[in-house]
């Protein structure tokens, strides 16, 4: 008996690998800035020629200023300098490593309220993208919400668009000292 497509690559199964995966930079907002701190789950690519392997941070900064990362293709653990990972060029992108994004999971992070309307608020998550706003129902934010207030939130920072972040507010907080990122124009994405 013969089956249709039996001799084709993948045995004739349909594939969606022809299109690139959606990214945070899609939609005209540009690349997200290089991170200000190293945290578990961040993904980087070395800028050195011939070393374009994706590294995922497995353990962030120890006492000696080093972190451990896993090479995605071989699962090998390597030790890297956190200072070298965070070094930036004049354009705000990484000098030695390009920040790619986050691994798919929920992260505890911060958000600032950009605008408040009658029914919704626009949040900016600087670690996700400082130029893209995330709309959220006003009733889900601690009251009274005011523009410029900082919140502790939980979100999937690997999402490519605001609707997939699944932001849940943990509580209010002060502005984190390591975030010196200017907030964008608040356009909802």
List the chain domain ranges: 42-102, 107-173
Mean pLDDT score of the chain, rounded to an integer? Answer: 83
Sign of CA dihedral 79, 130, 125, 113: positive
Centre a 10 Å sphere on the Cβ of residue 112 and count the other Cβ atoms it contains: 20
Confidence (pLDDT) at 188: 43
Q: What does the alpha-carbon distance between residue 133 and residue 116 come to, in Å, rounded to a whole number?
A: 12
Using pLDDT thresholds of 50, 70 and 90, give the confidence band for residue 60.
Answer: confident
User: For 133-180, what is each residue's pLDDT tens digit?
Assistant: 999 999 999 888 999 999 999 999 988 888 899 999 999 999 988 765
Q: Cα 179 vs. chain centroid, distance in angstroms?
A: 15
Using pLDDT thresholds of 50, 70 and 90, give the confidence band for residue 26.
Answer: low
The mean pLDDT value for 89-115 works out to 91
Q: Residue 33 gets which letter from DSSP? A: P
Whole-angstrom Cα Rg for the chain: 20
Using pLDDT thresholds of 50, 70 and 90, give the confidence band for residue 117.
Answer: very high
Q: What does the alpha-carbon distance between residue 189 and residue 187 come to, in Å, rounded to a whole number?
A: 6
In contact, 68 and 61? CB cutoff 8 Å: no
CB-facing half-sphere around the CA of 144: CA atoms within 13 A: 3
Q: Which CATH number fits domain 42-102: 1.10.10, 1.10.1660, 3.40.1580, 2.30.30?
A: 2.30.30
What is this structure's pTM?
0.76
Q: To which CATH superfamily is domain 107-173 assigned?
A: Nucleic acid-binding proteins (2.40.50.140)
Q: Exposed, middle or buried: residue 128 (CB in 10 Å: 0-12, 13-18, 19+)? A: buried
């Amino acid at each position: 008996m013969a089956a249709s497509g039996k001799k084709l690559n993948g045995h004739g199964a349909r594939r969606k690998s022809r299109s690139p995966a959606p990214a945070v930079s899609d939609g005209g907002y540009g690349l997200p800035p290089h991170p200000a701190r190293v945290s578990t789950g961040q993904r980087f690519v070395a800028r050195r020629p011939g070393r374009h392997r994706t590294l995922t941070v497995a353990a962030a900064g120890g006492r000696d200023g080093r972190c451990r990362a896993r090479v995605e293709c071989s699962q090998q653990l390597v030790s890297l300098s956190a200072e070298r990972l965070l070094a930036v060029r004049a354009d705000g992108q990484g000098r030695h490593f390009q920040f790619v994004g986050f691994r798919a999971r929920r992260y505890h992070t911060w958000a600032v309220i950009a605008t408040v309307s009658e029914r919704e608020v626009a949040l900016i998550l600087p670690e996700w993208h400082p130029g893209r706003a995330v709309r959220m129902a006003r009733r889900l934010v601690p009251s009274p919400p005011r523009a410029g207030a900082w919140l502790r939130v939980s979100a999937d920072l690997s999402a490519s668009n605001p609707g997939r972040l699944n932001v849940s507010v943990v509580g209010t907080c002060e502005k984190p000292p390591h975030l010196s990122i200017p907030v964008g124009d608040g356009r909802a994405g």
